[in-house]
Structure 1
Amino acid sequence: MAAISEAFRDGGFWMYIILVTSVIALGVTLERFFFLFFKFNMNAQAFMAQIQKLVMADNVDRAIKLCNAASSRALPHVIKAGLTRANKGEVEIQNAMEEATLEIVPKIQKRTNSLQTIANVATLMGLLGTIMGLIEAFEALESATPENRQRMLSRGIAMAMNTTAFGLIVAIPTMIAHLVLSGVTKKILDEIDMYSVKLENLLVTRGKGGPVE
């Protein structure tokens, strides 16, 4: 712990900026993790199997209630919009689900991409601290008195190395978090796209009185 405190102190002003980015990155990661894994995500395949079964049984009201039971999830929000227009035409069903998709997609994607920016800022702040530390070290070689030269040189090199290390320590986990959360985001969006089309086809076939598969 003392070594970490000393390294942080040796890094100087830039360490505090990187620390702020780490706090922001952690906050965004935790917030997105909660929403993506525990609020928007679900077992889409099992959910849609139930919806399809109810629609095939001409029990749309039960299907809507099933959506209401999982109203915080992303997919039921879109599916419910289509089900409420089940007795309308193809265009109305499609428009309803597209509108619901446009409402939910920004909430799913919100702030996830900012993690990549935060990681880049942490890296750049570490690089800037490195440059400033090297400048200080070179100034020590050029202008410092012999008795102060070693101390100033060590301080400059310590700043350079510590800011680089701390910047990378923040940036690497943040990039990994961005990768994981982006994957979950894509999964949720892909499920919305796929199952909204499947429901639309199901409802249109039902409306025309054709066989429902």
Structure 2
Amino acid sequence: MLDVLFKGGPTMVPLMVCSILSLAVFIERFLYFRKLDNNNFRLFKKLELLIANSNLSKAKKMVKAARGPVAAMVEQGLEGYGEDKATVREYVKLGGENEIRKMEKRLRILDFIATIAPLLGLLGTVIGIINSFNILAGAQGMAGPGALSVGIAQALISTAAGLIVAIPTTLFYTYLDSQVEDKTNELNQWSAKLVNLLAEDGSTSRVRGDRYVSKR
């Protein structure tokens, strides 16, 4: 392993760092999404019952104990309980956007690694080929084609390493981004219902289908 690392040239070190960082970010985000509570239907049923009984303090305790972006959006929305729809909508929107920022945390790192890793690999290959030709030039015709092919083969190690890092990182990013997209859709699915439930006016015709939060 160390032999391959040394043969790949100076760019192998940052590529190794990128691979470790990519895996660490993926594991942390994967565990984060696994811990989220997805039973939003039951949450809203309990919330409706508590609001109908004017038990706001118990409703706040319930959503605070729940885990997940929808529960956090509800908790923020409860701060505007009893206000007009425009005010409640702002509370709900703020809560939803805060949760999206939390879900997108560190995803840019994966996007950056997926972009930079192939470039680092290519840079390492270029440096390796330049060194190989410099060695041949200094050998004054004593080095044969075999020496050149060995040098180029070693130089290509960094390109392979860059792709090995970039491909799984791209898959990690795509998977996690789809999780954010799904959760964002859930936030928008429940946002209109939440506004209608918490606002002073209980009519539903004007807000049904609106998207109060959007994925950045």
Provide the alpha-carbon RMSD of the alignment.
2.6
Give the Cα separation in 2 of the matches to 1:126 and 1:209. 59
- Structure 2 residue matching 1:13: 3-state secondary structure: coil
Which residue in the other structure is 1:159 paired with? 154
Encode CA deviations 1:185-207: one digit per residue, 9 max, x unaligned. 11112212221222112334xx4
Tell me the equivalent position of 2:214: none
Q: Which moved more, 1:167-176 or 1:73-82?
A: 73-82
CA contact (8 A) 1:135 1:156 kept: no
Give the % identical residues: 30
CA separation in 2, counterparts of 1:144 and 1:42?
67
* Alignment match of 1:25 (pick from 16, 19, 22): 22
1:134 aligns with 2:129: yes
Is residue 174 of structure 2 the alignment partner of residue 179 of structure 1? Answer: yes
| Equivalent residue, structure 1, for 2:62 | 66
Match of 1:48 in 2: 44
Number of equivalences: 204
Letter in 1 for 2:104: Q
Looking at structure 1, the residues matched to 81 and 182 of structure 2 have their Cα atoms a distance apart, in angstroms, of 26
Tell me, in whole angstroms, the C-alpha distance in 2 between the residues paired with 1:196 and 1:110: 22
Matching residue of 1:35: 32
What is the distance in 1 between the residues matched to 2:53 and 2:91?
Answer: 22
Partner of 2:211: none
Q: Equivalent residue for 2:107?
A: 112
Cα pair distance change 1:200/1:133, threshold 3 Å: same
Structure 1 position 190 matched with structure 2 position 185: yes
Is the 8 Å Cα contact of residues 136 and 143 (structure 2) preserved in structure 1? no
Structure 1 residue 149, shift from structure 2 partner: 4.9
For 1:88, what is the secondary structure of its paired residue?
Answer: coil
Q: Give the match for residue 11 of structure 1.
A: 8
- Which sections of structure 2, spanning at least 5 residues, go unmatched? 205-216
1:81 to 76, 81, 84: 76
Separation in structure 1 between the aligned mates of residue 115 and residue 202 of structure 2, nearest angstrom: 56
Alignment partner of 2:111: what SS? helix
